[in-house]
Amino acid sequence: MHATGRCGAFHFSSDCFFLRLYVPPMPFALSERKQAMRRIMREARLSAAQNNSNAANMLRDVFKLNIKLEHATVVAGYRAFRGEMDPAPLIQHLRNAGHPIALPVVTGKGLPLAFRLYDGHGPLSVNPMGIEEPPPECPDVDPDILLVPLLAFDRNRNRLGYGGGFYDRTMTELRRRKPILAIGIGYSLQQVDEVPIGGDDAILDKIVTENGVL
């Protein structure tokens, strides 16, 4: 097996898109462990995106076969950014199946995300982070289903995000208000043996990749 790329301190081959990613031992402090894993996983995720152009369609098909949603439940998606698994084919399928679609809106540092309905037509705004979101005239809504981007995940459905805590706060706040289903969306390569977590980190209900459901 010949190495064809490099992620941080380890090598990986093209075969690793079908294997669990090995992440070397992390520093002791939780914040340092998270940052070290983020550096590795950003590069690994970008490599996955560049090497599997059909992954988004494969994920849609896996979702269709394995995840059953109640009719007309509101689904919050996201706009893919910096190598995130693109949920666009899945969102189009869900919209065609009668699910209203919402997108997240950043309301401020340290705050949960808000959500606005978006029918797929009309321009989107670009927030200061460079992420597209619905303009203020779109109706606010609390979603029933949350599609959550990620950098890494483990078998216990722990999620490593980007460090801002937006989705952790959002899942906690939505769960306080009502039952929701939080589904991580990513590449199978993003699974690691253990995600470093703290007391404020929210656990996902399910994770869907192009290869299966956890």
Reduced to 3 states, what is the DSSP secondary structure of residue 122? coil
pLDDT digits (tens, 9 = 90+) for 31-84: 999 999 999 999 999 999 999 999 999 999 999 999 999 999 999 999 998 899
* All domains in the chain, ordered by first residue: 55-213 (3.40.50.10420)
Count of alpha carbons within 13 angstroms of residue 207, beta-carbon side: 24
Quick one: average pLDDT of 117-131? 91
Higher-confidence residue of 6 and 142: namely 142
For the entire predicted model, the pTM comes to 0.86
Residue 44 CB partners (closer than 8 Å, separation 6+) = 7, 12, 21, 189, 190
Q: Give the tens place of pLDDT for each residue, 164-198.
A: 999 999 999 999 999 999 999 999 999 999 999 99
Helix (H) or strand (E) run with residue 90 in it:
helix 88-96
Task: Give CA separation, 74 vs 113, 133, 135, 150, in Å.
Answer: 15, 17, 18, 21
